[in-house]
Structure formats: C-alpha cells, structure tokens
Amino acid sequence: MNIRIKYESCSYLALFHTEKVPDNSSGDLACDSYNLYKEDVALLKRMKVQAYRFSIAWSRVLPKGTGKVDENGIAYYNNLINELKANGIEPYVTIFHWDVPQTLEDEYKGFLSPRIVDDFRNYAELLFQRFGDRVKFWITLNQPFSLSTKGYGDGSYPPGRCTGCEFGGNSGTEPYKVAHHQLLAHAETVALYRAKYQKFQGGKIGTTLIGRWFTPLNATSDLDKAASRRAFAFIVGWFLDPLVYGDYPEIMKEMVGDRLPRFTPAQSDLVRGSLDFLGLNYYVTQYATDAPLPKLPSAITDPGVTLGYYRNGIPIGVQAPSFVYYPPGFRMILNHIRKNYGNPLIYITENGVADFGNLTLPDALADNGRIQNHCSHLSCLKCAIE
C-alpha cells in the first residue's frame, strides 16, 4: 500500500456569501492567500512541508467559464506554483472544488447538463497548458459526493437545489445526474491529459473522494451489517466503483432504479481505470443501522440507512466540536479499498479536526488535541501500510 499525506490550502472560494452562513459572515477575505502566498510558502518551508495541495478557481482563470482567459488569474497561480517549487514544495493541484462559474449555471444549470463535460475538459486543458510543465500531480474533482448531495440533495451547498428548496430541484434525480456528469467530466479530462500531455509533462492525474467508513450499530444484526455495506456503496462506491470497474454498485442500480443514469459501453470504458492515483479525504467513521425507506425519494435517504456517532450515548471515538473521530476506521477503509479495488496508489488529501472554542493562547499553541488526532491517525495509517 503506497500512501502519502498532503497539506490542504484554506484559500478556495467561499461557498455562499452571507445568506447561507449562520452568523452572516463571508469568505471574501478568508486567509488571504492571494496576497500572502509568499508568507504562506515561507511558513510551509519552515514546517518542512514537502507537498502543498490547493484548488484553482475556475472563474478566476476563465471568468465566463469558457472563452477569454483572465491573465491576472493565470499570473497568480504561476506565482504561487513558482514560489512552491523554488522552496522545494511539490504542488498538488485540485482542478475543481465545487465552484462552477455563474455564467455556466445561468446558461445551462452547470453540472445538471451534459454540456458541462466539454467545458470542464477545456478548462482543465488550459491548466495543463499553462502550469503542466511544473505541476506533476492533478486532482480533477474534490469530493464529488458532496457537490451532488449537498448542492442538489439537501440544498446546503451551492447552487442550493433540492425538493422543496427555494431555487427548485429534485432530490431524487438531480444528485445522480450531477454525479454522472462529474464522473464523465473527470474521465474526459484524464483521457485528454494522457493523450496529449502526460508523456512529455511527466505528471499523474487522479481524483479525490470522500473516504468515510461505516460499522454496524448492532454488531450481531444482519440488517445493520447490510446497512453498513449500503452506506459505503452509496457514499464511496457511488464514485469509486465506476472509476475502477466502469459501473455503479449493483445495490445502487437495484435500489435507485431508473433514477440512476446508465453509462454507455463507450462511457464505461472511458471512466474505468481513469485514475493514476486515488485521493482520499478521511475524517470519520459512523455507525450504520437499517432504516425504512421514505415515500419521497432522495439521494440522501435512498440507501435506507441511519448514520450516527453514538451507541447507547457513548461516542464511537474521540468527541470533537463538529464530529467524533475514530482513527481505526482509517485503517479499515484503506484495507477495504486495497482488497476490493485493486490496491490503487492512494494519497491522503484531507484529514484533521477542529478545536473547541475559547482556548487560551498557551492551550492553542500546545495544540494537544490535534497532536493526539494526528498521532493516532498516523499510527493507524502505518498499520494499514504494513
């Protein structure tokens, strides 16, 4: 098992402005890496970081999604990449992190339309042309599950669509269409890179999936065991099965039926094997228990599973502000992927934990909670590798 860990940038664009943020704040400024990238890179070098993952904003280089290039955006990313390389830090570039240019949303509803596939591929080719001489690791998509289910299943991410949402939508069909078009956009982009750029640029290309593990709430219940398998199929296998085997998991095809798009034979061949590496974002393991299917179909409830962090009021792992983390699940999902998906090269592209608020400065600097989190996950990673 070949696994490496990457550092994730906080500089990608805000998902919403103020209307969807509880305290009405915005991400307009955030960590301001646009202006402070040299200081950021100096800090990374001081930390002896060897690789840095960041996301390129589609509309920063192509304001309308297609057509005229914004050379100011290109210059910023060139400067950042050059600064990283000059300091011995390898850039890992995420091509798409959920920010569809508004023009494409207005023109044809973004990833709801198959038209996005060609526009995405053309956008990616611009990046290969301008940055591929120095960027050797490309990540096409970040967590396509999140865009599909949160942008079109419950409306909590842009564009805020769902059944009953203010902006319209259908939670039982749109998430599956968006996922399908993301997979095709990824596959077309990989095919382009391999055909035109990989040989002389010498890079690798893959994608990053949500890496969540599931264990039965009742360890002796066959129903809960089946629920944990369905949860994995609908959250991870939804994307990993096509990328490795060229088709969706059988349980998804059975339960979702005609609402799940189908790959043509040519599309299946295109998607299958379209990974030089797999990026994995692992944060949590959850208990899974069997649940009845609701009358109204939704990609969120279609698996017929209830997920949670507690059994009889006891957390599965270590309590954190927004979730409970469980390092042994990290080892379990890595071993599962190795055994069931052809042992792909894996890069750990995200992992971490938040702090409880109102820490004193000495406590924040000691950072004991995060040290414990990193050490325990690295220990389980080491076990998986061995």
What's the CA gap between 1 and 386, in Å, rounded? Answer: 8
φ, ψ at 20 (rounded to 5°):
-110, 5
Phi, psi at residue 274, to the nearest 5°? -85, 45
User: How far is the C-alpha of 316 from the C-alpha of 310, rounded, in Å?
Assistant: 6
Which token pair is 210? 């949500």
For residues 288 and 225, is the Cβ–Cβ distance under 8 A?
no
Q: Which residues contact 57 (CB under 8 A, 6 or more apart)?
A: 12, 13, 73, 97, 99
Question: Residue 5: which region, alpha, beta or left (left: phi > 0; alpha: psi -120 to 50)?
Answer: beta
Can you read off the two tokens belonging to residue 20? 């969807």
What SS3 class is residue 363? helix
Helices (H) and strands (E) in the chain, counts: 15, 15
| CA separation for the pair 264, 306 (Å, rounded) | 33
Cα–Cα dist 209/278, whole Å: 8
Distance CA 46, CA 266 (A): 48
CA end-to-end span of the chain? 8
Q: Which residues participate in catalysis according to the annotation?
A: 350
Residue 59 and residue 102 in contact, taking contact as beta carbons nearer than 8 Å = yes
Calculate Rg over the CA atoms of the chain. Answer: 21
Give the phi and the psi of residue 211 in degrees, each rounded to 5.
Answer: -115, 85
